[in-house]
Protein backbone atom coordinates (compact mmCIF):
# COMPACT_ATOMS: atom_id res chain seq x y z
CA UNK A 1 0.00 0.00 0.00
CA UNK A 2 1.35 3.42 -0.91
CA UNK A 3 1.98 6.10 1.66
CA UNK A 4 -0.58 8.88 1.95
CA UNK A 5 1.51 12.07 1.76
CA UNK A 6 -1.34 14.18 3.09
CA UNK A 7 -1.86 11.95 6.13
CA UNK A 8 1.86 12.06 6.89
CA UNK A 9 1.78 15.86 6.79
CA UNK A 10 -1.37 15.99 8.96
CA UNK A 11 0.14 13.59 11.53
CA UNK A 12 3.31 15.69 11.74
CA UNK A 13 1.32 18.92 12.09
CA UNK A 14 -1.06 17.39 14.64
CA UNK A 15 1.88 16.25 16.78
CA UNK A 16 3.17 19.84 16.76
CA UNK A 17 -0.28 21.17 17.72
CA UNK A 18 -0.61 18.57 20.49
CA UNK A 19 2.75 19.64 21.93
CA UNK A 20 1.82 23.34 21.93
CA UNK A 21 1.05 24.80 25.38
CA UNK A 22 -2.69 25.36 25.08
CA UNK A 23 -5.88 23.76 26.33
CA UNK A 24 -9.53 23.41 25.47
CA UNK A 25 -12.22 23.79 28.09
CA UNK A 26 -15.98 23.50 27.92
CA UNK A 27 -16.76 23.69 31.64
CA UNK A 28 -15.24 25.10 34.84
CA UNK A 29 -13.46 21.86 35.77
CA UNK A 30 -11.76 21.58 32.37
CA UNK A 31 -10.81 25.25 32.57
CA UNK A 32 -9.23 24.79 36.01
CA UNK A 33 -7.32 21.70 34.78
CA UNK A 34 -6.18 23.58 31.69
CA UNK A 35 -4.90 26.50 33.71
CA UNK A 36 -2.90 24.04 35.84
CA UNK A 37 -1.38 22.46 32.72
CA UNK A 38 -0.10 25.92 31.75
CA UNK A 39 1.35 26.34 35.24
CA UNK A 40 -1.18 29.04 36.11
CA UNK A 41 -3.71 29.45 38.89
CA UNK A 42 -7.38 30.35 38.33
CA UNK A 43 -6.58 33.94 39.34
CA UNK A 44 -4.11 34.26 36.42
CA UNK A 45 -6.78 34.70 33.72
CA UNK A 46 -5.19 38.00 32.66
CA UNK A 47 -2.26 35.93 31.34
CA UNK A 48 -4.32 33.86 28.88
CA UNK A 49 -6.31 34.54 25.75
CA UNK A 50 -9.13 32.73 24.05
CA UNK A 51 -8.35 31.03 20.75
CA UNK A 52 -10.51 29.01 18.33
CA UNK A 53 -12.98 26.33 19.36
CA UNK A 54 -12.99 26.76 23.14
CA UNK A 55 -9.23 26.90 23.35
CA UNK A 56 -6.90 29.00 25.47
CA UNK A 57 -3.21 29.76 25.50
CA UNK A 58 -0.89 32.17 27.27
CA UNK A 59 -1.03 35.63 25.75
CA UNK A 60 2.75 35.39 25.46
CA UNK A 61 2.34 32.30 23.19
CA UNK A 62 -0.44 33.65 20.94
CA UNK A 63 1.93 34.94 18.24
CA UNK A 64 3.77 31.59 18.19
CA UNK A 65 0.46 29.78 17.77
CA UNK A 66 -0.54 32.06 14.89
CA UNK A 67 2.86 31.49 13.27
CA UNK A 68 2.59 27.72 13.61
CA UNK A 69 -0.91 27.62 12.11
CA UNK A 70 0.13 29.93 9.25
CA UNK A 71 3.16 27.70 8.59
CA UNK A 72 0.91 24.63 8.51
CA UNK A 73 -1.44 26.33 6.04
CA UNK A 74 1.51 27.35 3.83
CA UNK A 75 2.85 23.79 3.90
CA UNK A 76 -0.54 22.54 2.70
CA UNK A 77 -0.75 25.19 -0.02
CA UNK A 78 2.82 24.46 -1.18
CA UNK A 79 2.10 20.72 -1.35
CA UNK A 80 -1.06 21.39 -3.36
CA UNK A 81 0.84 23.71 -5.73
CA UNK A 82 3.61 21.18 -6.26
CA UNK A 83 1.13 18.50 -7.43
CA UNK A 84 0.71 19.57 -11.04
CA UNK A 85 -1.56 16.66 -12.05
CA UNK A 86 -3.81 16.27 -9.02
CA UNK A 87 -2.96 12.57 -8.90
CA UNK A 88 -0.47 12.66 -6.01
CA UNK A 89 -0.75 14.81 -2.91
CA UNK A 90 -4.07 16.37 -3.98
CA UNK A 91 -5.64 12.95 -4.55
CA UNK A 92 -4.37 11.76 -1.14
CA UNK A 93 -5.68 14.91 0.51
CA UNK A 94 -9.15 14.70 -0.97
CA UNK A 95 -9.47 10.95 -0.43
CA UNK A 96 -8.52 11.32 3.24
CA UNK A 97 -10.93 14.19 3.85
CA UNK A 98 -13.77 12.61 1.86
CA UNK A 99 -13.43 9.48 3.99
CA UNK A 100 -13.20 11.58 7.18
CA UNK A 101 -16.46 13.31 6.25
CA UNK A 102 -18.35 10.16 5.16
CA UNK A 103 -18.61 11.13 1.50
CA UNK A 104 -19.45 7.56 0.50
CA UNK A 105 -22.66 7.88 2.55
CA UNK A 106 -23.58 11.50 1.89
CA UNK A 107 -22.31 12.01 -1.67
CA UNK A 108 -21.54 15.59 -0.58
CA UNK A 109 -18.02 16.97 -0.94
CA UNK A 110 -18.71 20.28 0.83
CA UNK A 111 -17.66 19.23 4.34
CA UNK A 112 -14.33 17.96 3.01
CA UNK A 113 -13.76 21.18 1.06
CA UNK A 114 -14.66 23.27 4.12
CA UNK A 115 -12.27 21.27 6.31
CA UNK A 116 -9.49 22.03 3.84
CA UNK A 117 -10.47 25.69 3.40
CA UNK A 118 -10.87 25.18 -0.33
CA UNK A 119 -13.20 27.67 -1.99
CA UNK A 120 -14.78 27.47 -5.46
CA UNK A 121 -12.39 30.25 -6.55
CA UNK A 122 -9.39 28.19 -5.43
CA UNK A 123 -10.76 25.17 -7.33
CA UNK A 124 -11.14 27.28 -10.49
CA UNK A 125 -7.64 28.74 -10.15
CA UNK A 126 -6.04 25.28 -9.90
CA UNK A 127 -7.54 22.77 -12.34
CA UNK A 128 -5.53 19.94 -10.77
CA UNK A 129 -7.75 20.29 -7.69
CA UNK A 130 -10.78 19.26 -9.73
CA UNK A 131 -8.85 16.32 -11.20
CA UNK A 132 -7.78 15.13 -7.75
CA UNK A 133 -11.26 15.61 -6.30
CA UNK A 134 -12.88 13.66 -9.10
CA UNK A 135 -10.42 10.77 -8.75
CA UNK A 136 -10.82 10.76 -4.96
CA UNK A 137 -14.63 10.78 -5.21
CA UNK A 138 -14.51 7.75 -7.49
CA UNK A 139 -12.08 5.94 -5.19
CA UNK A 140 -14.10 6.76 -2.05
CA UNK A 141 -17.22 5.30 -3.64
CA UNK A 142 -15.26 2.14 -4.66
CA UNK A 143 -14.06 1.75 -1.04
CA UNK A 144 -17.67 1.76 0.10
CA UNK A 145 -18.76 -0.77 -2.50
CA UNK A 146 -15.83 -3.15 -2.30
CA UNK A 147 -14.47 -2.63 1.21
pLDDT at residue 4 in the model: 86
The backbone torsions φ and ψ at residue 57, rounded to the nearest 5 degrees and listed phi first, read: -145, 170
Q: Does the structure show a pLDDT above 90 at 105?
A: no
- 130 vs 142: which has the higher pLDDT: 130
pLDDT-derived band of residue 142, with 50, 70 and 90 as boundaries? confident
How high is the mean pLDDT of the chain?
93
Q: Distance between alpha carbon 109 and the CA centroid of its chain, in Å?
A: 16
Amino acid sequence: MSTNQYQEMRNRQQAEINAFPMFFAFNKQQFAEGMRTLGLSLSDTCQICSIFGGGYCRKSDAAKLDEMLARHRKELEDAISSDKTGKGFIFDMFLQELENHEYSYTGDVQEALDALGITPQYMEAMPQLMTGLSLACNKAMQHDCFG
